[in-house]
Amino acid sequence: MRFIEHLSSPARRHGLGALLATGLALAAGPACARLVQADLARVAVAPPPGARVPLELPAQDAGTERVTTLGQALAGRAALLLPVDFTCGNVCDPMVSMSADALAATGLAPGDYALVLVGIDPRDDAAAARRMVAQALVDRAATVQPRALIVSDAALARLTTSLGYTAVYDAGTDSFAHPAAAVLLAGDGRVAQVLSPLALTGRDLRLALTEAGEGRVGSLGDRLALLCYGYDAARGIYTPLVQRILTVAGVVTIVAIGLLIAGLTHLTRRRAA
C-alpha cells in the first residue's frame, strides 16, 4: 500500500527529522495522490484540553490474537502510543524503529514503559501488524517489546476523537495522509505530550516518560501536526515548511563555501607576498 504522511508547524525544531522524512517520501517514488490542499490541511493532532484515551477501548493483540483493551496494554505505565498503518512501507517503519531506538537509549527497563502501536487502517489484520513489527524492529526485540493492537472502525473513531487525531483516506492511491506523531500517555490514559517520533532522543524521552509516570502533563498546544513528508502530492511541489528549510540550508551552504573560498584566497595572497 502506498503511503503519504502530512504535518506542519510547530515541528520547526525537528528540522533533521523533517528532512529525513522528506528523503524517505521522495525515495518512495512518484506521488500520485488525489487529495487537495483542503484535505491535507485537516490532517493534524490537536488534543483537546484534558485529553484522555479510553482505557476500556477493545482491541485485538496482534501478537497473541487475543481480545484485550488499551488499558491492559498500558498496564498502568507511561506509554508511547503510535497510530500507524501496518501495511505502510515508507515512513511508518522508520517511525516505529526510531521510537524503539529512542526508548532503548533511555536506559529504562522495558517494564518501566509501554510502546503501543494502533492500526489506523481497519482492513489490516494481525498478520500484517506482526510483519510490520518484525521488519521495523529487527535486532531490537530483546530491548523493546511493543504491543500492536488491531481495532474496529468504531473503536478507532473513539480513540482518534479522544486524541484530536485526524487522518484522511485517499481512495485514488489507497493510502492515508495522517500525522506522524507519537502520543505520550500517562498510566491513567491522560495525554501528556505529542512528540515527533522522527526526532526523539533517549535523554529527552526518558525525562518525558518519567514526568508522565509521575502524572505530570506537559503543554499540548492548540494544534500539533508533525511534518512527515516534504513532497506535497496535491500540488506536486515541496510544502512551504520544507521549502523554507531547504532554502535556508542552501543559503547557509553558499555562504559557508564563499567564506571558505575567501579565506583560502587571502591565505594564498599572504603566502605569495
What would the mean pLDDT of 41-64 be, rounded to a whole number?
Answer: 93
Predicted local confidence at residue 216, as pLDDT: 61
pLDDT in tens, 59-87: 999 999 999 999 999 999 999 999 999 99
On the question of pLDDT at 120 being above 80, the answer is yes
Predicted local confidence at residue 22, as pLDDT: 36
CA distances from 52 to 3, 165, 185, 189 (A): 28, 12, 8, 5
Predicted local confidence at residue 245, as pLDDT: 57
Predicted local confidence at residue 189, as pLDDT: 94
Torsion angle in degrees (nearest 10) through CA of 134, 66, 102, 215: 170
pLDDT in tens, 159-200: 999 999 998 888 887 888 888 889 999 999 999 989 888 888
State the amino acid at position 259 in one-letter form: L
Please state, for a pLDDT cut of 90, what percent of the chain lies above it. Answer: 33
State the pLDDT confidence band at 262, using cuts at 50, 70 and 90.
confident
Average pLDDT, the chain: 77
Predicted local confidence at residue 140, as pLDDT: 66
Q: How many CA atoms lie within 13 A of 187 on its CB side?
A: 11
Q: Is the pTM of this model over 0.75?
A: no
On the question of pLDDT at 26 being above 70, the answer is no
